[in-house]
Amino acid sequence: MAYVAPAPAEVEEVELYHAKSFITKYVFSQDAKVIAIQYSFTAIAIGVVGLVLSSMMRLQLGFPDSFSIIDPADYYQFITMHGMIMVIYLLTALFLGGFGNYLIPLMVGARDMVFPYVNMISYWVYLLAVLILVASFFVEGGPTGAGWTLYPPQAILEGTPGSGGGIILMLVSLIFFIIGFTMGGLNYVVTVLQGRTRGMTLMRMPLTIWGIFIATILALLAFPALFVGGVMLLLDRVLETSFFMPAIISMGEQLEYGGGSPILFQHLFWFFGHPEVYIVGLPAFGIVSDLISVHARRHIFGYRMMVWALVAIGGISFIVWAHHMYVSGMNPWFGFFFATTTLIIAIPTALKVYNWVLTLWKANIRFTIPMLFALGFIVTFVNGGITGLFLGNTAIDVPLSDTMFVVAHFHMVMGVAPLMVIFGAIYHWFPLMSGRMLDETLGRIHFWVTFIGAYSIFLPLHYIGFQGVPRRYFEMGETNFIPPSVQDLNAFVTVVAVMVGFAQILFFYNLFKSMSSGEIAEKNPWKAASLEWQTPEQPPAHGNFGDELPVVYRWAYAYGVPGAKDDFVPQDMHPDEVGGEGAHEASKE
Amino acid sequence: MGLFSQLAEKPWTPEQAAIDDRHKGVEFSLTTPQFGLRVFLGFVTVIFTLFVVVYVERMVFADWKPMPEPWLLWVNTAILVISSIGLQWAWVSADKGDADGVKKGLYLGGVLAFAFLTGQLLVWQQLVVLGFYASSNPASAFFYLFTALHAVHLLGGLVAWGRTAIKVKSGMDMAKVRGSVELCAVYWHFLLVIWIVIFSLLLFT
Ligand code: HEM
Ligand SMILES: [Cu+2]
């Protein structure tokens, strides 16, 4: 077919805010790239706090008699803060606020987010939420020890550590987080739908953007449930309403509460909590698809199917929440329904895994560090996914509920797996963000220590869980059903965990050193086809694309196009320049 | 073209490329602020829907006692309706380029919104006098919660309203304020609907 490319230009220009002073350029900045970096630094900083807390817990679990750094109350508080920080303040904020802000405008060909001012406020509200969370460590009674699920009634009753100021600050912090997130989320959704450049149809968007986009929609639908639960729990705590609180006799005394339903809170919490897994998961799926495609020099296998799977997973994730509540005394039919939906969601998920593997099949794989982390992700995700299938079945879940097996499962699937993607993504996009490469050797050491370490930590926990060791226990003491081997394993796990924790110093050292003195990155070092690498400057300047916005002629996966002069064709290269027959044949095989 | 039919496109084929190259990169024929507001309203709708679901679930428990329904609430409702009409008037006038109508409609809407909020405070006061505190029974707890949340949203709307009113007062070009006036009106109507849902919930349960 004779193809005539349309004349370029006629991309509608937007008015761009130009910062005038240092403060508005780097502190109260409205540039999504700066906001992204602010989000990332804050999220990683609080994430390190979460990591330190986990080491303290591990020391206790591994050597219950040798350390007296923490007492049982501390242990509860540390679990709670660790879980909350990792899931919400680190992963959610980093994937959406960090990667979302950096990549959406660049990858869809926009100069910035559509509401830059709101976007800026979003970060500052998030920072406020983090500060409130941190403040709860310093109030009387310390942070809440209710568990990251914050189940009433115990979450707000005296006797639970941090039931004073701690739980109040926790809830207030969550409410602020949600407000801040909503402001960001509004930007991500509207920018993706309304702010793309000419020629960038939805189905030409890189999967990274699809993942972040669907995850944002999920978040906008799921966070309201946490908001509602949080506000009502706060009122129960502060004004002694009884939304969730049943009649309670505490130490021989009848409390003011009565009539409320704790199970109602559980429903609200998990209506948020399960989609939350995918709010973290979908951006990871998207990013890893792109990492694999770029570093294997191959178009992603089954692009459309990958998009459909993202949409399907997003939809189904709203009807599986009660698989977290099998032991709450629910009607067996109810359990049956949720077990079925849970198994159904495995289908699109498995599809994605097949497509990643098929993309790699006979591809020209380059074992760069991002590729290593991407492979690490696939393996870990499959691992955690399979134990998820076990736990999704009511009959298997009931005995395993609240054991270390569950801890092992969710750390694999939503702890280690997304972290692998985050590391991979940082190694991949660092040259774009800073103009310099990260050190290769340090990176390889970092990968292997983290990967092998993560398995040494979490594989044994599956076994420990099978032996019946419950989660959220400060110590087991002399428990006759638990064999001594468990204690040895626990000690081993702790030693590895502390080592892996320290190994991350290597990563931070690499980051900071490379930022100032790393090897200067050549333009588009990975030879990627997507738009973010095609900016006139690297790192991209304010406004991203210089004088004229790019015009897009193909999808982001044009690798190995026959006859083209290079082995990849950037999305915005005019068909006449491509050479060969490759103009639009892209990488159809 | 619908979102779903797009999902069936094959972006890698030359036929599709010829179509795609002409795509403007915009999905909906709304301005960015219009679209942003709709997304935000979607989010708020989810929040209020969940509250209503929880309300209905909580109602079935034994300790539920219906609330008194102060007649003042009817007055407040009427005020909010007129406030919405005021903003509608401003919107229609803005479309016609009638600056005077915009001004009148906008002021009427805003002042009545403040009146509504004052009225709500009076209702709270009446209830407290009657001995209905937030912790007295679940129905009154929900009532305080719903009215407070609704009021917070209205206050947020009044901030946007204030900024629009300043623009209008300074005699800015009608074509430029039209967008803001429209957003305010849409938001006001939305909050009116929310209020009517809350109020009916109170009346019928
Ligand atoms: C070096 C990495 C990590 C280590 C060593 C670690 C260790 C632990 C330990 C020891 C517990 C408490 C188990 C118990 O007694 O019940 C725990 C709980 C938890 N962790 Fe991690 N963790 C790590 C990373 C992560 C990450 C990245 C996430 C993000 C999803 C995460 C999410 C959670 C959650 C949600 C809980 C449950 C908290 C609760 O029971 O309330 N962890 N972790
Ligand atoms: Cu779940």
CATH number of the CATH domain containing B145 = 1.20.120.80
Indicate whether B62 belongs to any domain. yes
Spatial CA neighbour of A574 closest among A562, A560, A564? A564
pLDDT at residue A252 in the model? 86
A205 — phi, psi (to 5°)?
Answer: -75, 145
Judge contact between B57 and B161, C-beta under 8 A. no
Judge contact between A194 and B32, C-beta under 8 A. yes
Is the shortest distance between the CB of A56 and ligand 1 below 6 Å? no
User: In chain B, which residues have their Cβ closer than 8 Å to the Cβ of A221?
Assistant: 46
Tell which of B4, B41, B50 to mutate to test the A interface (max A CBs under 10 Å). B50
Indicate whether B89 belongs to any domain. yes
Boundaries of domain holding B96: 32-204
Q: How far is A410 from A383, CA to CA, in rounded Å?
A: 10
Indicate whether B15 belongs to any domain. no
Where do the domains of chain A lie, and which CATH numbers do they carry?
Answer: 28-245+257-292 (1.20.210.10), 522-589 (no CATH)
Indicate whether B154 belongs to any domain. yes
Indicate whether B16 belongs to any domain. no
pLDDT at residue A13 in the model? 66
pLDDT at residue B61 in the model? 85
Spatial CA neighbour of A116 closest among A42, A194, A187? A187
**ipTM of the complex, rounded to two decimals:** 0.94
For residues B58 and B80, the model is more confident at B80
DSSP label at B30?
S
Indicate whether B3 belongs to any domain. no
Q: What angle do CA A301, A3, B16 make, to 5 degrees?
A: 40
A1 forms bridges with which residues in the sheet?
Answer: none
CA A96 to each of CA A27, A40, A272: distance values in angstroms, whole numbers, following the listed order: 20, 10, 16
| Nearest ligand, measured from the Cα of A397 | 2
DSSP label at A411?
I
Structure tokens at B125: 């006061």
Structure tokens at B201: 């919930």
Contact B20 A182 (CB under 8 A): no
Structure tokens at B117: 């909020």
User: In chain B, which residues have their Cβ closer than 8 Å to the Cβ of A239?
Assistant: 134-135, 141
CB neighbour list of residue A1: distance below 8 Å, 6 or more residues apart: B14, B15, B18
Contact A199 B47 (CB under 8 A): no
**CA distance, residue A200 to nearest chain B CA (Å):** 5
CA atoms in the 13 A half-sphere facing the CB of A399: 7
In terms of C-beta distances under 8 Å and separation of at least 24 residues, what long-range contacts does A362-369 make, across chains too? Answer: A363/A296, A363/A297, A363/A298, A364/A296, A364/A297, A364/A298, A364/A560, A365/A295, A365/A296, A366/A295, A366/A296, A366/A297, A368/A295, A368/A427, A368/A526, A369/A424, A369/A427, A369/A438, A369/A440, A369/A443, A369/A444, A369/A447
Indicate whether B25 belongs to any domain. no
Query: pLDDT in tens for each of the 589 residues of chain A?
Result: 344 555 544 556 667 777 778 888 888 999 999 999 999 999 999 999 999 999 999 999 999 888 778 899 999 999 999 999 999 999 999 999 999 999 999 999 999 999 999 999 999 999 999 999 999 999 999 999 999 999 999 999 988 999 999 999 999 999 999 999 999 999 999 999 999 999 999 999 999 999 999 999 999 999 999 999 999 999 999 999 999 999 999 888 898 888 889 999 999 999 999 999 999 999 999 999 999 999 999 999 999 999 999 999 999 999 999 999 998 888 888 889 999 999 999 999 999 999 999 999 989 999 999 999 999 999 999 999 999 999 998 889 999 999 999 999 999 999 999 999 999 999 999 999 999 999 999 999 999 999 999 999 999 999 999 999 999 999 888 888 888 889 999 999 999 999 999 999 999 999 999 999 999 999 999 999 999 999 999 999 999 998 889 999 999 999 988 878 888 999 999 888 887 655 555 444 4
Q: How far is B33 from B142, CA to CA, in rounded Å?
A: 32
Give contacts of A 93-132 with B, CB under 8 A. 108-109, 114-115
pLDDT at residue B204 in the model? 82
pLDDT at residue A107 in the model? 97
Structure tokens at A355: 């497509």
Stated pTM of the model? 0.94
Mutate to test the pocket of ligand 1, among A90, A170, A407 (most ligand atoms within 8 A of CB): A407
Indicate whether B5 belongs to any domain. no
For residues B66 and A116, the model is more confident at A116
Q: Which helix (H) or strand (E) holds A249?
A: strand A249-250
SS3 assignment, position A559: strand
Is the shortest distance between the CB of A497 and ligand 1 below 6 Å? yes
Mutate to test the pocket of ligand 1, among A44, A58, A74, A79 (most ligand atoms within 8 A of CB): A79
Domain count, chain B: 1
Environment class of A385 (CB within 10 Å of its CB; exposed 0-12, middle 13-18, buried 19+)? middle
Q: How far is A489 from A469, CA to CA, in rounded Å?
A: 12
